[in-house]
Structure 1
Amino acid sequence: MAHLRKSAEAGMTTAEYAVGTLAACAFAAVLMLVVKSGPVKSALAKVITAALGTGT
């Protein structure tokens, strides 16, 4: 009986998956807004250009 109870609590339930997925999507949306902002976008371009050695 203890084995059944332990295995039933082993993983996330459907509601927990839904909340986790929603949180991940919200985080991704915020991250995309930050990355697409002007200062961050130009800083990333500078880093990539410097890493590739194609800058002046």
Structure 2
Amino acid sequence: MSVVRRLVPVRRAAASRPPAALPESALPPLTTSHARATFLDERGAATAEYAIATMAAVAFAGLLVVIMRSDEVRGILTDLVRRALTVQ
């Protein structure tokens, strides 16, 4: 039994062209109230703050991993655990 494969032509994406410039009349006039509404909008600010805090936490965790892998710190922690588990 033979398998017959049929080649399907792949459509290539059209060459990327720069977007056509909009005529000046297509843009709304920039008034004070429109600028205030556009630039003072804080939607998504909390999400950005969470993303920055998460990146800082990941960087701190990476630093802790590097520190914890050192022989000196490993020895200190091992000694601390041994002293905590020994009964006097």
Under a length normalisation based on structure 1, what TM-score does the superposition of the two structures give? 0.70
Identity %: 41
Q: Which amino acid aligns with 1:44?
A: L
Q: Which amino acid aligns with 1:34?
A: I
Deviation at 1:35, TM superposition (A): 1.2
Aligned residue pairs total 44
Q: Which stretches in structure 1 are left out of the alignment for 5+ residues?
A: 1-8
Q: Which stretches in structure 2 are left out of the alignment for 5+ residues?
A: 1-41
Under a length normalisation based on structure 2, what TM-score does the superposition of the two structures give? 0.46
2:73 corresponds to 1:21? no
| Greater gyration radius | 2
CA distance in 1, matches of 2:69, 2:77: 10
Written as runs of structure 1 = structure 2, the 5 A alignment for 1:3-42 is 13-42=46-75
Write 1 or 2 for the structure with the bigger share of helix: 1
- Residue number in structure 2 paired with 1:5: none
> RMSD between aligned alpha carbons?
1.8
- Residue number in structure 2 paired with 1:43: 76
